[in-house]
Structure 1
């Protein structure tokens, strides 16, 4: 199984080879709920793992609060189509990788390693769903923007 290691401020993310504009206002799109604040304040590391055995890809996310956030704040599975997730992940991965190459500008602690995400490979729904939601979690928790749209729930 192929793996890449990503670390960001207490996070270790192992990834196997791995526009719709906002309808609301900026404040509304970025508003952090009490439940989300609770997830962001957690100190104990969660571990989320999902693998696509057929494609031999795996994603493992170790980040305090992410599992809680995924279960309590994120949209449920099948809310988004796989093509939506793939399109957003392509944008997020591209911007992530550009930031890895500019550590003085974006902070080496947040963006340490590149993600090898090939849009021509079908990683499956689970891998795309968890990767997408990690990007939303990351952007909201660390006040980052990895695309032209606001990271909203």
Structure 2
């Protein structure tokens, strides 16, 4: 009788550790990428920012400070420094991971990109620094 109880317990353990059965998990990378693509465009200024980063939309919707929390001038000043630091890292592939720092960001300091662009760009830097454990010399904590 004692052996039967052990066999049943072991069987239940093995059964509970088994496959997921009929559960469907979303592993379609293209669907996840489409959900994590942020596109910002302004035809009058002829610029476009496309952020393709898994998890960025979730970060914006759940962890970032709400729109209006920071002033546009604050975000512009932060972005100027962060873009400068980021672009320096792009140009130093021997020192910084070239898989993280792919392309320079063309952020012109005298251009008024509007609040939304500055808000998303700043929050991208916050997300990037947290996600990839990158410490910019400019604080990006919110």
1:95 aligns with 2:85: yes
Residue 134 of structure 1 corresponds to which residue in structure 2? Answer: 124
1:152 aligns with 2:137: no
Considering fraction of residues, name the structure with more helix.
Answer: 2
For normalisation by structure 2, the TM-score amounts to 0.73
What is the rounded CA distance, in whole Å, between the counterparts of 2:87 and 2:37 in structure 1? 23
TM-score by length of 1: 0.68
Is the CA contact 2:82–2:138 (under 8 Å) kept in the aligned structure 1? no
Structure 1 residue runs without a partner (length 5+): 1-42
Q: What runs of 5+ residues in structure 2 fail to find an aligned partner?
A: 1-28
Alignment RMSD (CA, Å): 1.3
Q: CA shift at 1:146, angstroms? A: 2.1
SS in 2 for 1:103: coil
CA distance in 2 between partners of 1:130 and 1:116 (Å): 15
Highest CA radius of gyration, 1 or 2? 2
Which one scores higher on RCO, CA 8 angstroms, separation ≥ 6?
Answer: 1
